[in-house]
Amino acid sequence: MISRLHHACVLTSDARGLGATLSDVLGFPGTKVRSVDTGMVTLGTTMVPVGNGSYLQLLQPGAGPGVAELASYGDGFIYEVAFQVSDANQAWQDLRGRGISPVDIAGRPLRDGCAVAASGSRYLYLRPEDVGGLRVELIEPPAPAG
């Protein structure tokens, strides 16, 4: 089901500024911060490529998941890990078959398969209580254009 670590996510109060710092200090390419607003969740996010197809996600929460954690733990807190899967809906079915209920980014049950992000990625989350307290995302990135 899992093919590799896709990304680790850190919380920040300034995704653009942290992205610029990582670019200056570590030579990572600059990236554009994208705004997301689903009504229940607002955030700024960018995926910084770090090599070998893996990323560091910079997440600037505005409302919803991550807000309390940023307030409690501050900038740089490792918030989640995401593992790449080849088929997010199959992962959803496999987990449901084992009695595990995948959720969306806001923690609501996914009853009919995976969620789809504006980027085209298909994803689901596991409830932390199902995986030893970790926040785990399973992600199927969109197929490359072309």
pLDDT digits (tens, 9 = 90+) for 94-145: 999 999 999 999 899 999 999 998 889 999 999 999 998 999 999 999 987 7
Q: Is 146 contained in some domain?
A: no
Q: Is 6 contained in some domain?
A: yes
Task: Answer yes or no: are the C-beta atoms of 79 and 31 closer than 8 Å.
Answer: no
Confidence of residue 30 (pLDDT cuts 50, 70, 90): confident
Q: Is 32 contained in some domain?
A: yes
Q: How many domains does the chain have?
A: 1
Average predicted confidence (pLDDT) for the chain = 93
- Output phi, psi for 138, to 5 deg: -110, 130
User: Which CATH number do you get for residue 70?
Assistant: 3.10.180.10
pLDDT per residue over 125-134, tens digit each?
999 999 989 9
Which residues lie across from 125 on neighbouring strands?
Answer: 103, 137
pLDDT of residue 144: 78
Domain residues for the domain of 116 are 2-140
Name the 3-class secondary structure at 135.
coil
Q: Is 145 contained in some domain?
A: no
Q: Is 121 contained in some domain?
A: yes
Task: Answer yes or no: are the C-beta atoms of 110 and 53 closer than 8 Å.
Answer: no
Confidence of residue 64 (pLDDT cuts 50, 70, 90): very high
Sign of the Cα pseudo-torsion (121, 54, 36, 69, in order): positive
Q: Is 69 contained in some domain?
A: yes
Asked if the model's pLDDT at residue 46 lies above 80, the reply is yes
Asked if the model's pLDDT at residue 146 lies above 70, the reply is no
Q: List C-alpha distances in Å: 144 to 35, 53, 94, 123.
A: 22, 13, 25, 17
Q: Is 123 contained in some domain?
A: yes
Q: Is 47 contained in some domain?
A: yes
Global pTM value: 0.88
